[in-house]
Structures are given as structure tokens and as C-alpha cells.
Amino acid sequence: MLKKIQQVVGYGYHRLRTQELQDEYINWLCFANAGMLNKGNAYLMDLAIAQLPTQNPIIEIGSFCGLSTNVISYLLKKHNKKNTIFCSDKWIFEGSDNQNVGNSDISHEKYRHFVKESFMRNVQMFAHDTLPYAIEEFSDDFFALWKQKTALKEVFGREVTLGGAISFAYIDGNHTYDFAKRDFENVDAHLDKGGFILFDDSADYYDFGSAKLMKEIKRNPNYEFIKKNPNYLFRKIV
């Protein structure tokens, strides 16, 4: 996560070429809800959600404090869509093998609980009527449970059964090449024809494995490249 913060801060003039969604509510949401959401992602989310092929669930890999979750929830209501949101996050971050956060006296365990509680509080406030099913797992484990159609109790204490086709996936988990590729392959196994995948931190100027992966997906005959803003949005065509 620290590397992501450094790159987000450093992308500078590239913002001038990013199309941003002009929406007063999202502006207010971003004031109150902590997060590192690229403004171009909201534009791409709006583009995808307006054209969802089915009412099958939306999958979000990596939730942090719930900003992107709340944007997706709002856009579903904006476009009168009834898709359910499933989130996957373990709330364990890069560098958490150290006892404390930097030179502070705050432990990574306390930091983890604070972020998780912030996520819960934020989505209960801003997505109260479309509350996502939040699964506290790493993405590999989440997709294994999804494939097995596992019944479990999610973060808010509700019983839910995972599994089935999905209409849209927002991938914002581990940005190394191997993890991002597995997330893509796992989504691909369940994605509707006409469904969308948006990859966070996939812009050409980022030094992430997820950015490298974009070149492969652009050559994949089963996918149509929709837009780069500056991150990549694809649609499944086969």
C-alpha cells in the first residue's frame, strides 16, 4: 500500500488528461470517505455500470475504507441497477509484518482494525440501502469460496451463499503481476459475456505488475479494450 501512495502522489500532470465524472454527490463523498480512488476510475465505473449486461453481482477486490464501494453503490442507484455488491478484503497491508506503523506507537493490528471499522462505518452510512456483502478474505481465498458456492457469514453478520456469474469486477488488490493475473483469471471464469473488468493502478506510467498485465489482456481475443482513463477498462466479448 505504501508503494501505491507514493505512485498516486507522483502521477502529477497525468491528471490533466484524465476524464473525471462531474457529480456533486461523489465530490461530497470523497471529502468524507478516506481512500485513494483515482478520479478517472469513477468515470470508468459509471461507463461500465450504465451498460451492465445482467443483474448478476459486482465483485470488488480490495475495499480499504469503502470509498470505491460507495461510489459503485451510488452509480448502481443512479442507473437504476439492482446488482448486488460483493467485496473481498483481508485488511492486511504492505509492511504490516513490522510491529508498529512507522516510528509511531500505533500497532499494525490497531491500524488494521481501524481501517476495517472505517470501511464498515462508511458503507453503513453511504450504502445503507445497498449494503455490500463484505468477505474478509484475500482474493485467492475469496475466489476459491466463490467457486465452491460456499455459504458463510460475512463481515456484517449476514448469512450469504457465494458463487455464480458476475457482471462487473473492480480489481484493486495486490498489484504484483502474479496476483493481478490470478485475479483476472478468476474473474474471467465467472464473468458474463458483455461483462466488464476495471483494473486499478494499471495506467501505463505505473510501475506495477498490473500495468504489465494490461498488454496481455489487450491481445486477448475474448476481451474488448474499452477505455484507458488512465487505468484500463475491458469488456468480455466471448
Are residues 41 and 227 in contact, defined by beta-carbon separation less than 8 angstroms?
Answer: no
**pTM of the full structure:** 0.92
What's the pLDDT score for residue 4?
55
What's the pLDDT score for residue 196?
98
What's the pLDDT score for residue 98?
79
Which residue positions in the chain have pLDDT lower than 70? 1-16
Q: Where does 127-208 have alpha helices with state H?
A: 139-147, 177-188
Parse the chain into domains and list their residue ranges: 2-236
HSE value, Cβ hemisphere, 13 Å, CA-based, for 64: 17
Reference 184, options 136, 156, 218, 145; nearest CA is 218
Supply angle C-alpha 66, 59, 91, rounded to 5. 45
Buried/exposed 28-52: b ≥16 CB within 10 Å, e otherwise: ebbeebebbbbebbbbbbbbbbeeb
pLDDT digits (tens, 9 = 90+) for 25-71: 999 999 999 999 999 999 999 999 999 999 999 999 999 999 999 99
What's the pLDDT score for residue 15?
52
CATH number of 2-236: 3.40.50.150
